[in-house]
């Protein structure tokens, strides 16, 4: 559930505006998200009727898996324990044994890894089921390894960071699903007036990830699977403007999907 504000990226702006970070839609907000208990009930009821009831919807112990992107946004308006109660009440009303709550702890500013493993005790103690760190692999101190006039970052940097985040999350003793991020390239969101080379630190742009080959992604996926969790999250199916996609593309065909298929066959 992408429960965050919806806005316009700098690429759509008339002026050359800084992004102030990897992702920033604050130049023009189309939809500000404000949660309420009734809104949460409405969202859950809609999902129960339109999605959870589908035969192929992902369920754990009969419970539909419901993933929330911004826990901070949700908890700002609804107490965590009340959110768990409401989601389970609505799911049971629609004939399910409950809801399996999967909460994102990534994409936050808690530390240089943008990963909120310190939030896990609160999430666990309030009755949520599991966590994952969406888009883990980024780190705020990338400028130590990136030349100012060469705004690219080797995928090995992301691999190392993702493994580190998995270890910190696992230490918290809560069920979690490791997240494998395929790369990072948000240049489609950058201002169209920007010319190469640019001062990416001044603009607040994150470097483009390079060398994220199928072989390296296979290596990281094998490491994630070796943790023997109930599932592994792959980021992402079609995040075209973030440089993360599994869906076939003209220049690589189905290479990414073939890689995943190969790794999964090895596990049998």
pLDDT in tens, 156-176: 999 999 999 999 999 999 999
SS3 for 152? strand
Give CA–CA dist 210/18, Å, rounded. 23
> Is 185 a member of any domain?
yes
* Residues paired with 64 in a beta bridge: 59
Residue 89: inside a domain, yes or no?
no
pLDDT top residue among 187 and 65: 65
- Both tokens assigned to 125: 């103690």
Look at 72-76, 106-110, 164-168 and tell me which has the smallest mean pLDDT. 106-110
Rounded Cα–Cα distance for residues 145 and 143 (Å): 5
Confidence of residue 25 (pLDDT cuts 50, 70, 90): low
DSSP conformational letter for 252: T
What pLDDT, on a 0 to 100 scale, did the predictor assign at position 23? Answer: 47
Whole-model pTM: value is 0.89
Q: Is residue 51 part of a domain?
A: no
| Cα dist from 60 to 68, 153, 170, 231, whole Å | 16, 37, 20, 10
Closest Cα partner for 206 from 29, 69, 18, 12? 18
CA–CA dist 96, 81 (Å, integer): 19
Domain contains 134: yes
Q: How many domains does the chain have?
A: 1
**What's the domain range around 219?**
6-33+105-266
Give the three-class secondary structure for 191: coil
């Amino acid at each position: 559930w992408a429960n965050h504000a919806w806005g316009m990226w700098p690429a759509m702006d008339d002026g050359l505006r800084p992004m102030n970070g990897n992702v920033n839609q604050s130049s023009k907000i189309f939809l500000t998200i404000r949660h309420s208990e009734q809104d949460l009930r409405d969202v859950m009821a809609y999902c129960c009727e339109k999605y959870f009831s589908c035969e192929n919807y992902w369920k754990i112990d009969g419970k539909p898996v419901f993933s929330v992107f911004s826990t901070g946004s949700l908890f700002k308006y609804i107490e965590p324990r009340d959110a768990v109660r409401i989601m389970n009440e609505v799911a049971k009303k629609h004939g399910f044994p409950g809801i399996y709550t999967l909460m994102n702890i990534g994409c936050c500013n808690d530390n240089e890894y943008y990963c909120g493993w310190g939030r896990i005790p609160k999430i666990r103690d309030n009755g949520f089921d599991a966590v994952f760190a969406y888009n883990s692999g980024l780190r705020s101190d990338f400028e130590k390894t990136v030349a100012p006039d060469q705004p690219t970052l080797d995928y090995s940097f992301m691999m190392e960071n993702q493994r580190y985040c998995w270890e910190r999350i696992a230490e918290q003793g809560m069920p979690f699903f490791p997240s494998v991020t395929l790369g990072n390239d948000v240049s489609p969101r950058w201002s169209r007036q920007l010319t190469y080379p640019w001062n990416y630190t001044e603009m607040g742009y994150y470097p483009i990830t390079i060398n994220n080959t199928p072989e390296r992604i296979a290596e990281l996926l094998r490491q994630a699977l070796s943790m023997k969790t109930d599932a592994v999250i792959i980021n992402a199916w079609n995040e075209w403007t973030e440089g993360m996609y599994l869906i076939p593309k003209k220049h690589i065909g189905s290479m990414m999907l073939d890689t995943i298929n190969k790794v999964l066959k090895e596990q049998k």
